[in-house]
């Protein structure tokens, strides 16, 4: 079990890797990648059991697939993706593009990129695990913009009805989506009450507090309900000029911006 | 056809295949036989087709052979994004069982028709597309699905359809099936149109016009070799389908004929490029669009002039 200092150190390293990967390839979706880093670090360092190709491993699906730079970076850190593969990110002919393709042997557990798919696939994995009496658990990370999709709520209803207490949904609630603030585009009104109303055991936390994340994950599976973590995060977390700025859904830091970003991540 | 599907699914499951049947709240009065025998292998996901496809994908990742059941347009159009990303791209062997292809839902109207489903499914990489014509083809092709390593669209017609296969003859997956082998005019049909084509052949026979009849039950992968053989021996090829004339089996066969320099006549019969505004029984609707034996026969006669 990694301690707070170690987890925070790893988060910083992953953020640096994301900036490096996205800057060198002029890739976007940096804000979304930075908001989900702490969730991924705690998950992969302290929570997820097993690793590919063990069929009994826990599975994580980044349903907000556009933030895959963060996922690739943590899988690279874990050694599931080789350094060589990681270097190929977003280059012509690569197999690590801007949205993940299913490659279970390196921890990419589904195709994601079209929003609103991951939770249904997660339901299928969790439901199958129950049927097979498998101990494998399923973690699905959604964005709050993604929760606009109707299919998310079809899956939410299914998971509660089937009592999938081996399924954990983490909402990376960074309050922004592609065209602006979630409240201005399609007001979520109240994430916690919605997931509770759908029959999920729901806990709201600061999605950048690694110990809060760690301690909340420990409560997963203690009830008969599927588990929802509403993780309040900051889009672009860790780099002052990227935080809460929608431009960094699209832009890639170059020159001085890159230097400034890396300096802030010391 | 649908009743045969359920019987065959029961047989497959009895043989020990790890089957799970999902439905998006349809199949009342049909699926009960399976549910009674295998209650743990059945789940009604509710009226949520998109979720059903995702759930099927997740279960298939763990090695379960999932069959998803719904009415044709709901299982293919409403869910297309999930089908392409979660099933076809990931190449997961989930079987989409579409009830009521074409105009089968008659009086229910266009919301329940699937007249563009083959155009879409045959364009999806990795997708196997099957359109059985009768209970025999339904049984053989359903039984075959347990061997698939890819997703499959199985388009069924009504609950019960008459047999077109006789004398113990059986179809083979992937091979265009010859049901009548006389003459040098070929009718290639599938699904419910095979029986209608057979009746048209009977009418033509009375006028000493002899036609061959083929059932193209496997739309994808299409039997290129078989179709080339037909092209080599027939002066007229007519395709008949309960589907839009755009991008159905007529188009698929035309592509093969054109690429192989076929010099004979070729005509495709099917549904026009429109959504029907009128309602009618399935047979009335098929007749309305001139897909009845009499019209099929007279079209062929005119082509011979």
Q: Any CB–CB contact under 8 A between A115 and chain B?
A: no
**Residues B97 and B194 both lie in one domain:** no
Number of domains in chain B: 2
Which CATH number covers residue B43?
A: 3.40.50.970
Tell me the sheet residues that pair with B238. Answer: B187, B267
Q: Any CB–CB contact under 8 A between A52 and chain B?
A: no
Contact assessment for residue A118 and residue A172, using Cβ atoms and an 8 Å cutoff:
no
Asked if CATH classification 3.40.50.970 holds for the domain at A4-264, the reply, yes or no, is yes
* Domain assignment present for B160: no
Q: Which regions of chain B are under pLDDT 50? A: none
**Residues B227 and B194 both lie in one domain:** yes
**Residues B52 and B104 both lie in one domain:** yes
CA distances from A29 to A246, A266, B57, B144, B265 (A): 10, 21, 27, 44, 55
**Residues B183 and B132 both lie in one domain:** no
CA B151, CA B91: separation in Å to the nearest integer? 6
ipTM of this predicted structure? 0.96
Shortest CB distance from A124 goes to which of B40, B48, B56? B56
* Domain assignment present for B167: no
- Burial class of A199 by CB neighbour count within 10 A (0 to 12, 13 to 18, 19+): middle
**Residues B102 and B225 both lie in one domain:** no
Which CATH number covers residue B248?
A: 3.40.50.920
Angle (CA) A41 A213 A14, round 5°: 20
* Domain assignment present for B196: yes
Q: Which of B237, B221, B147 is nearest to B188 (CA)?
A: B237
Contact residues, A window 213-242, toward B, CB-based 8 Å cutoff: none
Contact criterion met (CB < 8 Å) for A55 and B62: yes
Contact criterion met (CB < 8 Å) for A117 and B46: no
**Residues B129 and B206 both lie in one domain:** no
Pair of tokens at residue B160: 């019960």
- pLDDT value at residue B203: 98
In this structure, the strands spanning B152-155 and B212-215 are: unpaired
Euclidean distance between the first and final Cα of chain B, in Å? 38
- pLDDT value at residue B167: 81
Q: Nearest CA of chain A to the CA of B43: how many Å? A: 10
Domain holding B58, by residue range, is 2-155
* Domain assignment present for B201: yes
Omega cis (within 30) before B221: yes
Chain A residues close to B43, C-beta within 8 Å: 127, 162
Distance of CA B210 to the CA centre of its chain: 26
Shortest CB distance from A132 goes to which of B54, B62, B86? B62
**Residues B120 and B189 both lie in one domain:** no
**Under DSSP, is residue A103 helix (H, G, I), strand (E, B) or coil?**
strand
Pair of tokens at residue B243: 């589907």
Contact criterion met (CB < 8 Å) for B20 and A119: no
Q: What is the helix (H) or strand (E) element at residue B181, kind and residue range?
A: strand B177-181
CA A200, CA A195: separation in Å to the nearest integer? 6
Task: Look up tokens 């209803």; give the residue.
Answer: A157
In this structure, the strands spanning B212-215 and B177-181 are: antiparallel
Q: Any CB–CB contact under 8 A between A134 and chain B?
A: yes
User: What count of other Cβ atoms lies within 10 Å of the Cβ of residue B72?
Assistant: 25
Contact criterion met (CB < 8 Å) for B48 and A158: yes
Pair of tokens at residue A148: 């606009």
- pLDDT value at residue B158: 78
CA A204, CA A182: separation in Å to the nearest integer? 18
**Residues B146 and B215 both lie in one domain:** no
Nearest CA in chain A to B41: A131
CA B50, CA A174: separation in Å to the nearest integer? 26
Per-residue pLDDT of chain A in tens (266 residues, 90 and over written 9): 999 999 999 999 999 999 999 999 999 999 999 999 999 999 999 999 999 999 999 999 999 999 999 999 999 999 999 999 999 999 999 999 999 999 999 999 999 999 999 999 999 999 999 999 999 999 999 999 999 999 999 999 999 999 999 999 999 999 999 999 999 999 999 999 999 999 999 999 999 999 999 999 999 999 999 999 999 999 999 999 999 999 999 999 999 999 999 999 99
**Residues B146 and B283 both lie in one domain:** no
């Amino acid at each position: 079990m990694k301690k707070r200092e170690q987890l925070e150190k790893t988060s910083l390293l992953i953020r640096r890797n994301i900036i490096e990967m996205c800057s060198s390839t002029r890739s976007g979706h940096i804000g979304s990648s930075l908001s989900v880093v702490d969730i991924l670090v705690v998950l992969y360092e302290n929570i997820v059991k097993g690793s590919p190709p063990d069929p009994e491993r826990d599975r994580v699906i980044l349903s907000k697939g556009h933030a895959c730079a963060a996922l690739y970076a943590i899988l690279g850190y874990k050694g599931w993706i080789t350094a060589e593969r990681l270097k190929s990110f977003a280059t012509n002919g690569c197999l690590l593009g801007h949205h993940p393709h299913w490659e279970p042997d390196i921890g990419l557990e589904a195709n994601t990129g079209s929003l609103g798919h991951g939770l249904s696939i997660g339901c299928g994995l969790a439901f199958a695990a129950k049927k097979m009496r498998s101990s494998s658990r399923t973690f699905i990370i959604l964005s709050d913009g993604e929760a606009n999709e109707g299919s998310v709520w079809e899956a939410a209803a299914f998971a509660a009805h089937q009592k999938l207490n081996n399924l954990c949904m983490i909402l990376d609630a960074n309050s922004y989506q592609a065209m602006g603030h979630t409240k201005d585009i399609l007001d979520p009104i109240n994430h916690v009450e919605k997931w509770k109303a759908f029959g999920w055991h729901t806990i709201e936390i600061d999605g950048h507090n690694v110990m809060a994340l760690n301690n909340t994950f420990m409560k997963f599976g203690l009830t008969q309900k599927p588990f929802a973590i509403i993780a309040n995060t900051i889009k672009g977390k860790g780099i002052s000029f990227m935080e809460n700025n929608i431009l960094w859904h699209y832009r890639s830091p170059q020159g001085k911006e890159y230097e400034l970003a890396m300096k802030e991540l010391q | 056809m649908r009743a045969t599907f359920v019987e065959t699914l029961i047989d497959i499951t009895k043989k020990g295949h790890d089957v799970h049947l999902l439905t998006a709240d349809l199949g009342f009065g049909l699926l009960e036989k399976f549910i009674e025998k295998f209650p743990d292998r059945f789940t009604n996901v509710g009226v949520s087709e998109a979720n059903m496809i995702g759930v099927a994908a997740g279960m298939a990742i763990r090695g379960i052979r999932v069959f998803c059941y719904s009415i044709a347009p709901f299982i293919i159009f409403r869910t297309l994004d999930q089908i392409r990303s979660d099933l076809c791209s990931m190449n997961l062997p989930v079987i989409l069982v579409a009830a009521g292809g074409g105009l089968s839902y008659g009086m229910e109207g266009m919301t329940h028709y699937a007249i563009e489903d083959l155009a879409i499914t045959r364009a999806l990489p990795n997708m196997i597309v099957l359109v059985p014509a009768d209970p025999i083809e339904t049984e053989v092709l359903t039984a075959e699905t347990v061997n698939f390593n890819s997703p499959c669209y199985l388009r069924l017609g009504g609950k019960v359809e008459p047999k077109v296969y006789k004398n113990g003859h059986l179809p083979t997956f992937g091979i265009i099936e010859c049901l009548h082998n006389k003459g040098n005019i070929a009718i290639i049909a599938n699904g419910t149109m095979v029986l209608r084509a057979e009746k048209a052949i009977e009418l033509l026979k009375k006028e000493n016009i002899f036609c061959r009849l083929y059932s193209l039950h496997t739309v994808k992968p299409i039997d290129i070799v078989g179709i080339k053989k037909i092209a080599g021996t027939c002066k007229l090829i007519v395709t008949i389908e309960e589907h839009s004339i755009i991008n159905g089996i007529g188009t698929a066969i035309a592509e093969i004929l054109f690429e192989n320099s076929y010099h004979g006549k070729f005509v495709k019969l099917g549904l026009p490029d429109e959504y029907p505004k009128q309602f009618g029984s399935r047979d009335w609707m098929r007749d309305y669009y001139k897909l009845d034996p009499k019209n099929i026969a007279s079209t062929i006669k005119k082509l011979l002039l």
